[in-house]
Amino acid sequence: MELRVGNLKAVEGEKVQGYFEVLHTDLKVPCTLINGKKPGKTVVITGGTHGGEYPGVEAAIRIAGELQPEMVSGKVIVMHPYNLPAFEARLQYLTPQDGKNLNREFPGIATGTFTQRMAYSVTQELHSQADFYMDLHGGDIHEALVPFVIYPTIGSEEVTRISKEAASCMGINYVCKSTSTNGTFGSAALRGVPGFLSEIGGSGLWTEQEVQDYMYGIKNVLKYLHVLEGEAEINNSISYIEQMNGIYAESNGCWYPSVTPGGTVKKDEKVGEIKDYFGKVINEYYSPVNGTVLFVVSSLAITKDDPIVAIGEC
Ligand SMILES: [Zn+2]
């Protein structure tokens, strides 16, 4: 069967690399279609939903390059990077055209702002035909983190089960529940598509090891979905996180964390403080729970209402 994604198409047994034209904009996103020789599931992979999360972008480019129709049972669609304007602007969280966070704008609006149209295009052209969705993130330019993967619990029981099992195949030790509805993967789950959002790397950097970790995880999930041949390996050292507790900045200023990603904290233990530009402490933050520190803002600059620390509670 032909694979068609907007203006791009690949017949059975064909691989096509080109630019996906985002509906109702002049944006063209690098995109790869691999239409396998054998039947199977359709998997969508996006890297770079946020512009400064580099291991996921590089892994998306590599998996798009490596996969060939002979290797694939089913179909794989890769966007690399999805948020090309943010990537080129080296802009964290936001799309430069309208200052919106693409991962808060799903399912999108056809006639909305630039970011809302970007979301709408993926909902309409990719999620609509997907059997599974992987959204590859990392800590953004100002975020440090320990690798973790978030799966949606807002879809059907079956969607939640497949999402959790696949997330457990990423080779990542922290697997967290999510009830987000306006992000990429939550929106897909509400439309019956299981998936997850993974986080590897951060602070505006990327290493070969992080990309290799991503490549291992993506291929292992493709094996779990029977898109690639071979047995998926199950990770036996996973901590399943029931709840992620985000702590948010109450002021602009300078941020001084006292915890590091991957560390454990006790309830009421101090996690950091914000000082004003004269060095005076204006806010202090304490952990609401016993748990593991999943991410910490790594920039000195902090902006009111931004997340500063997330603590996972088992
Ligand atoms: Zn992200």
Which CATH number do you get for residue 277?
Answer: 2.40.50.100
Same domain, 14 and 150: yes
Q: Does residue 59 lie in a domain region?
A: yes
Q: Which of 192, 224, 256 is the last residue of a domain?
A: 224
Are residues 209 and 248 located together in one domain of the fold? no
Examine the domain organization and report whether 248 and 291 are in the same domain.
yes
Rounded to 10 degrees, what is the CA torsion of 79, 83, 88, 91? Answer: -140
Report the separation in Å between the CA atom of 274 and the middle of ligand 1, taken as the mean of its atom positions. Answer: 23
Same domain? 123 vs 246: no
Q: Is there a single domain that holds both residue 60 and residue 32?
A: yes
Cα(1) to ligand 1 centroid in Å equals: 33
Centre of ligand 1 to C-alpha 156, Å, is 25
Between CA 235 and CA 170 the distance in angstroms is: 8
**Residue 232 corresponds to which tokens in the numbers above?**
């998926």
Q: How far is the centre of ligand 1, averaged over its atoms, from the C-alpha of 279 (Å)?
A: 30
- Which among 224, 258, 291 is the end of a domain? 224
Q: Encoding tokens for residue 69?
A: 């129709």
81 preceded by a cis bond (ω within 30 of 0): yes
Query: What's the 44 CA to ligand 1 centre distance in angstroms?
Result: 17
Q: Where are the alpha helices (DSSP H) in the chain?
A: 54-66, 84-89, 114-125, 157-167, 184-190, 208-224
Looking at the fold, whether 11 and 79 belong to one and the same domain comes out as yes
Residue 231 is assigned to a structural domain of this protein: no
- Tell me: cis bond preceding 257? Omega within 30 of 0 counts: no
Which of 224, 257, 285 marks a domain boundary? 224
Ligand 1 mean position, distance from CA 51 (Å): 8
In this structure, what CATH number is given to the domain that contains residue 190? Answer: 3.40.630.10
Please return the burial class of 223, using the count of CB atoms within 10 Å of its CB with bins 0-12, 13-18 and 19+: middle
59 and 182: one domain?
yes
Within a domain: residue 237?
no
Q: Do 189 and 263 share a domain, yes or no?
A: no
Q: Clarify whether residues 68 and 143 are in a common domain.
A: yes
**Ligand 1 mean position, distance from CA 187 (Å):** 15
For residue 41, report the distance from its CA to the centre of ligand 1, in Å: 26
Ligand 1 centroid – CA 157 distance (Å): 26
Same domain, yes or no: 84 and 133 = yes
The rounded Å distance from CA 80 to ligand 1 centre is 14
What's the average pLDDT block by block, 10 residues per block, for the chain (314 residues)? 97 98 96 98 98 97 98 98 98 94 97 98 97 97 96 97 98 96 96 98 96 98 98 93 96 98 97 98 97 97 95 91
Q: How far is the CA of 140 from the centre of ligand 1 (A)?
A: 6
Backbone angles phi, psi at 114, to 5 degrees: -55, -50
Q: Domain of 258? A: 242-313
Q: Which residues contact 168 (CB under 8 A, 6 or more apart)?
A: 175, 234, 235, 238
Both 48 and 168 in one domain: the answer is yes
In a domain, 307, yes or no: yes
Q: Ligand 1 centre from 264 Cα, in Å?
A: 23
Please tell me the distance between residue 56's alpha carbon and the centre of ligand 1 in angstroms: 9
pLDDT at 236: 87
**How far, in Å, from the CA of 38 to the mean position of ligand 1?**
33
204-216: b (≥16 Cβ within 10 Å) or e: bebeeebbebbbe
Instruction: Give the chain's length.
Output: 314
Ligand 1 geometric centre to CA of 287 (Å): 23
Q: Report how far ligand 1's centroid is from the alpha carbon of 53 (Å).
A: 6
What is the gyration radius of the CA atoms in the chain, in angstroms? 19
CA of 143 to the centre of ligand 1 (A): 10
User: What is the Cα–Cα distance from 67 to 32, expressed in whole angstroms?
Assistant: 10
48 Cα–ligand 1 center, Å: 7
Domain membership flag for residue 234: no
Give pLDDT, residue 61. 98
Provide the domain count of the chain.
2
- Per-residue model confidence (pLDDT) at position 82: 98
* 87 located within any domain: yes
Distance CA 33, CA 126 (A): 11
- Note whether 129 and 179 are same-domain residues: yes
CA distance 283 to 278: 14
